[in-house]
Amino acid sequence: MKTHPRSRAVRTPGGLSLRLEPRALIVVVLLLAAACAAGIALIGTGDAKIPAADVLRTLAGDGTAYQDFIVNELRLPRVLVGLLVGASLGLGGALFQSVSRNPLGSPDLLGLSQASTAGALVVIVLLSGSATQVTLGALAGGLVTGFALYALAWKQGVHGYRLVLVGIGVNAVMTAVNGYLLTKADLVDATRAVVWMTGSLSGRDWEQVWPLLGLCAVFFPLVLANARGLRMMEMGDDVSNALGVRVQRVRLLLMASAVLLTAAATAAAGPVSFVALTAPQLARRLTRSPGPNLVPSLCMGATLLVAADWASQRAFGADQLPVGVVTGVLGGAYLLWLLVTERRAGRI
């Protein structure tokens, strides 16, 4: 395993060893600053425009009653959901790409986003369920399909291209199931389902923030605590086992975490396309660091999603273009570029 020439190993009082790279640290700080700036700009954007200085003053508790209602009740939850959803997708995408050792190993292409969509559609179309039930349906769909994907890809372990190939097949099946469910829906339920399937942050409130925040508070530290094992697994299973890593246990734990994060993000905002695919790759190109780049990918995902939502509102007006459309267009172009690059390199 290559070590960055300027990296430093830091050992915490609890015995946890961390490897810090100056360039990666700078990238993380800049991405966090960009995410905060985009979030503040997004809060101030809309029919009632609020200057950035007033947004900051209101967040600090010094705004007027009108500003407090607009900022803290209407717009802040939307921004927080965007940040958490983007971070969850970025981290989930980094985990899948690292486990599969393939830049195409993304929840979008492995069928997990479509599976969460199928779970939500079952609740919307067949059960006419509430928003909470739709969320639970999306989580259940993602979890069931995630474990089915793991089982189908298992053959003395789960390895790169087999996972991707099985995932592409699962994605095709889930897409067909979603199309069938839409044909069975009445007009009202079909309209509701199509709006949800687009991927949007519109109308998000504190009811979506707290469950997603709780899930992220549990799984972000859990994933980062296993980052060392994930880095070793990139050298191969035999070497990792020799170094004391319980490969299949760590792989199953990280894949389950990635599935849950992806399903939760889909449940909160709908299937927002391509953030999980692009965020890890962009983070790796910025840090120029080997390994999964979990924290930079997390920050990149949050920045991409909030910036895309702000750009859609600035360009097309509030809620006229859902954020899922913006990320889909940009991510589709990136996927084509990635496929061409991989083909020229002889990897596909």
pLDDT value at residue 305 = 92
71-111 per-position pLDDT tens digit: 888 889 989 999 999 999 999 999 888 887 777 777 877 88
Sorted by sequence, the CB contacts under 8 Å of residue 209 that are 6+ apart come out as: 77, 80, 81, 84
Helix (H/G/I), strand (E/B), else coil: 292: coil
pLDDT value at residue 29 = 93
pLDDT value at residue 267 = 84
Tell me how far apart the alpha carbons of residues 322 and 156 are, in angstroms, rounded to a whole number: 43
Cα distances (Å, whole numbers) of residue 80 to 11, 165, 306: 32, 34, 9
Which residues in 233-271 are b (16+ Cβ under 10 Å) and which e? beeebeebeeeebebeebbbbbbbbbbbbbbbbbbbbbb
Q: Which of 85, 53, 181, 199 shows the shortest CA–CA distance to 124?
A: 181
Tell me how far apart the alpha carbons of residues 199 and 5 are, in angstroms, rounded to a whole number: 41
Show the beta-strand stretches assigned E in the chain.
8-11, 17-20
Q: What are phi and psi of 346, to 5 degrees?
A: 80, 15
Tell me how far apart the alpha carbons of residues 164 and 106 are, in angstroms, rounded to a whole number: 8
Which residues in 157-183 are b (16+ Cβ under 10 Å) and which e? ebbeeebbebbeebbeebeebbeebbe
Q: Which residues of the chain have pLDDT under 70?
A: 1-20, 156-161, 233-245, 247, 316-320, 342, 346-348
10-36 per-position pLDDT tens digit: 555 554 455 667 888 898 999 999 999
Tell me how far apart the alpha carbons of residues 320 and 323 are, in angstroms, rounded to a whole number: 10
Q: How far is CA 302 from the centre of its chain?
A: 8
pLDDT value at residue 240 = 61
Q: What are phi and psi of 320, to 5 degrees?
A: -80, -25
Tell me how far apart the alpha carbons of residues 276 and 283 are, in angstroms, rounded to a whole number: 11
Write the DSSP string, 192-261: HHHHHHH---TT--HHHHHHHHHHHHHHHHHHHHTHHHHHHHTT-HHHHHHTT--HHHHHHHHHHHHHHH
Cα distances (Å, whole numbers) of residue 41 to 36, 52, 134: 9, 7, 30
Helix (H/G/I), strand (E/B), else coil: 158: strand
pLDDT value at residue 109 = 79
pLDDT value at residue 135 = 80
Q: What are phi and psi of 173, to 5 degrees?
A: -65, -45
Which residues in 27-55 are b (16+ Cβ under 10 Å) and which e? bbeebeebbeebbbbbbbbbeeebeeebb
Query: What does DSSP assign to residue 291?
Result: S
pLDDT value at residue 2 = 45
Tell me how far apart the alpha carbons of residues 135 and 123 are, in angstroms, rounded to a whole number: 9
Structural element, H or E, at residue 135: helix 131-153
Structural element, H or E, at residue 341: helix 323-344
Can you give the three-state secondary structure of 2-29, one letter per residue?
Answer: CCCCCCEEEECCCCCEEEECHHHHHHHH
